[in-house]
Amino acid sequence: MNYYETLIDGATYDGFIVKELPLKSGDGRCRGRRIAIRQDIPTLKKKADALAEEIAHGKITVGDISDQTTPANRRQERLARLMAYEIRFPLMDIVHAFKAHCTNIYEMSEYLDVSEDTIKDAIDFYTQKYGVSTTVDNYIIQFEPYLQVHEFWMSPLK
C-alpha cells in the first residue's frame, strides 16, 4: 500500500469521504467531510500532498476560504498548509532519512515517498517555526546552514 492509499484509509477512518474527480482548478477541494482530489495529478506523491492539505482543511478550516484576499482566509490557508507539512513530512522523517543515509532532497523524496517540493517547503516551514535547530527524541535537527541530524545521549545524574 502506498502512502496516498494510507492517507485515504486514515481520512476514511476519521470520517472523510475522499473521491478523485476531474477538478477544473486546484489539486483538491474540501467541503465539510467530503474531499475531492484532482484525478489527473501526475504522481501519487503529489496526490498525497494534495490530500494531506485537504485533510488539514477538513480538520481546522471554518467556512469558505476561497477568497484569499482577506487576511483571515489567508491565515486559515497557511495553517492548513502547515498542518499538511506535519502530516506529510514530520520531523522524525528527517531523522529516518538521515539514518538511511539519504544525502539530498531527491534521495529523501524517494526514500520517504514525499515530493521534493513538499520537503523543501516543509523544511522552510520548520526553519520559520523552530529557528536554526530543534530536538526530537534523542536527535538534534539542524536546519541552517544546511540540513543535519545529530544523535545525542544523556547520561543519568549521579
pLDDT at 120 over 70: yes
Helices and strands, number each (H, E), in the chain: 6, 6
- The answer to whether residues 25 and 78 belong to one domain is yes
For residue 107, the enclosing domain spans 90-158
Q: What is the pLDDT of residue 18?
A: 97
Average confidence score pLDDT of the chain:
92
- The answer to whether residues 26 and 75 belong to one domain is yes
Tally of structural domains, the chain: 2
What confidence category does residue 113 fall into, taking pLDDT thresholds of 50, 70 and 90? Answer: very high
pLDDT at 61 over 90: no
pLDDT at 53 over 80: yes
Residue carrying the nine cell digits 497557511? 78
How much of the chain is helix, strand and coil, in % rounded to 5? 50, 15, 35
The CATH number of residue 1's host domain is 1.10.10.2910
Last residue of a domain, which of 88, 112, 131? 88
Helix (H, G, I), strand (E, B) or coil at 63: coil
pLDDT at 154 over 80: no
The stretch 67-84 carries a mean pLDDT of: 91
Last residue of a domain, which of 88, 122, 149? 88
- The answer to whether residues 1 and 49 belong to one domain is yes
The stretch 129-136 carries a mean pLDDT of: 95
Tell me, rounded to whole angstroms, the distance of Cα 90 from its chain centroid: 7
